[in-house]
Amino acid sequence: MTATDGATGPAASSAPSASGAPASGGAAAPEPGAPASGGAAAPGRVKTFLRMVMIEHSVFALPFAYIASLTAMYRDGGSVDWWTLLLVTVAMVGLRTFAMACNRIIDREIDARNPRTAGRELVTGAMSVRSAWAGALAALAVFLGAAALLNPLCLLLAPVAVVPMVVYPYGKRFTNFPHAILGLAQAMGPVGAWLAVTGAWSWDAVVLGLAVGVWIGGFDLIFACQDVDADRAHGVMSVPARFGIPAALYGARGAHAVTMGLFVWYALLTGAGAWFWVGLAVVAAAFLYEHSLVRPGDLSRLNRAFFTVNGFIGIALFGCALVDLAVRGLTV
């Protein structure tokens, strides 16, 4: 499957569950997996929904949105606009939650046929499709509301960010390269975060967005390797399923080499200081470590390569970028 399957967001799965339709006689059927009594049912559904969308995996995209936002703030006025930063956070989490929920809903039948994903909430009936759609639409409303509060351009361009998130789950049905669609979807984050601050287009942000998109597409290639047998058996399309695990791992290495080149380009475009370059050195070392963990014949450490290393990459680079901006004069 994909990185947003999480487990794998980048930007990529789920199976039939109860529809949530009213039971015979007109009374609503109890939510599968939820308490029958009304008082505890809603909190239980919310908790199940958050578990389904793996809300904690927002860590992959948020650091780069913060890098873009804070760099734009440094250039635009030299101080942190906390309200804008909060809205960027809300928008990013809202969009990512919507995307993940759509992914789980659209892929629920595929998930049911894959032993790795057969325990997901929509497969087991712990959550109904109706409740999942309700959560997805609520997350979309949160995203659009945050975009509207940021500036008119963010709201105008919001559909551009939404469409790839919905197209991505379908990608594995019509192309061997759904990872590229995920990368495109995730590349929007830094661009949107920059627009949120300045209300104007920036090619610097585009370079950072491309770096993030290629990075996430690359580690999605790694993640998809574990589903090769199931994907081939059920006609799910991906690079590993079509070209084999060795090709996918080589593709991931190439993608991450390109990512490093784009990060360097972004650093040069924005006049980054010493601390940002230290961060890039740390990221390069993390990439080398990540690719040492997986081999065509040994995917036993894949989760460490995916979750631990990639989570570290975003946080480490953001930390170094933040120190760099503070040293260069960004104030709170």
Q: In which band, very low, low, confident or very high, does the pLDDT at 14 lie, cut at 50, 70 and 90?
A: very low
CB-based contact 121:33 (threshold 8 Å): yes
More confident residue, 27 or 144: 144
Can you give the pLDDT at residue 125?
92
pLDDT over threshold 70, residue 324 = yes
Instruction: Find where tokens 């909060």 sit.
Output: 86
Calculate the average pLDDT of the chain: 86
Average of per-residue pLDDT across 248-256: 96
Can you give the pLDDT at residue 214?
97
Average of per-residue pLDDT across 184-194: 94
- pTM for the model stands at 0.85
Spatial CA neighbour of 197 closest among 44, 35, 312, 69: 69
Q: In which band, very low, low, confident or very high, does the pLDDT at 16 lie, cut at 50, 70 and 90?
A: very low
Can you give the pLDDT at residue 39?
45
Distance CA 238, CA 120 (A): 21
Average of per-residue pLDDT across 86-114: 94
Average of per-residue pLDDT across 227-248: 95
pLDDT single digits (tens) 44-80: 888 898 889 887 777 778 999 999 999 999 998 899 9
Distance CA 232, CA 241 (A): 6
Spatial CA neighbour of 176 closest among 252, 118, 235, 223: 235
Distance CA 238, CA 189 (A): 24
Can you give the pLDDT at residue 24?
35
User: What ranges make up the beta strands (E) of the chain?
Assistant: none
Side-chain-side CA neighbours of residue 294 (13 Å): 26
Distance CA 281, CA 289 (A): 12
Can you give the pLDDT at residue 42?
67
Spatial CA neighbour of 150 closest among 56, 78, 65: 65
Longest alpha-carbon distance in the chain: 69
Q: Where do the structural domains in the chain lie, given as residue ranges?
A: 46-328
CB-based contact 45:252 (threshold 8 Å): no
pLDDT over threshold 70, residue 8 = no
Angle between helices 38-52 and 82-106 (to 10 degrees): 90
Q: What percent of the chain stands above pLDDT 90? A: 74
Radius of gyration of the chain (CA): 20
In the numeric block, which tokens belong to residue 104? 């789980």
pLDDT single digits (tens) 280-314: 999 999 999 999 999 988 888 888 777 788 889 99
The CATH class for the domain spanning 46-328 reads mainly alpha
Can you give the pLDDT at residue 36?
39
pLDDT over threshold 70, residue 5 = no
Residue 252 CB contacts under 8 Å (≥ 6 apart), including other chains: 218, 219, 221, 222, 291
Tell me, what amino acid is at 63? P
